[in-house]
Amino acid sequence: MQKLVIYNHGKDSIPWGEKPLALAEVARRRGYLFLSPDYRDSNDPDARVAKLLSLQISAYETLVLAGSSMGAYVATVAAERLGPAGLFLIAPAFYLPGYALSDFRPGSAEIEVFHGWADEVVPPENAWRFCRAQRATLHMLDGDHRLLSGLPQMTAAFEAFLSRCDQRDSQGDADERL
DSSP 118-135: T-SSS-HHHHHHHHHHHT
Q: What is the dihedral of CA 161, 15, 153, 57, to 10 degrees?
A: 0
Nearest to 74 by CA among 53, 56, 103: 53
- pLDDT in single tens digits along all 178 residues of the chain: 799 999 999 999 999 999 999 999 999 999 999 999 999 999 999 999 999 999 999 999 999 999 999 999 999 999 999 999 999 999 999 999 989 989 999 987 799 999 999 999 999 999 999 999 999 999 999 999 999 999 999 999 999 999 999 987 676 544 443 4
Element (H, E) at 85: none
CA separation for the pair 79, 174 (Å, rounded): 23
Burial grade of 122 (CB within 10 A; 0-12, 13-18, 19 or more):
buried
Residue 9 carries which DSSP code?
A: -
Q: How many CB atoms lie within 10 A of CB 89?
A: 30
Q: What are the angstrom distances between the C-alpha of 133 and each of 14, 104, 107, 117?
A: 30, 9, 12, 20
CA separation for the pair 43, 70 (Å, rounded): 9
CA separation for the pair 171, 178 (Å, rounded): 11
CA separation for the pair 87, 111 (Å, rounded): 5
Q: Which structural domains are found in the chain, ordered by start?
A: 3-177 (3.40.50.1820)
Give the pLDDT confidence score for residue 108 in this predicted structure. 78
Nearest to 87 by CA among 104, 102, 98, 72: 72
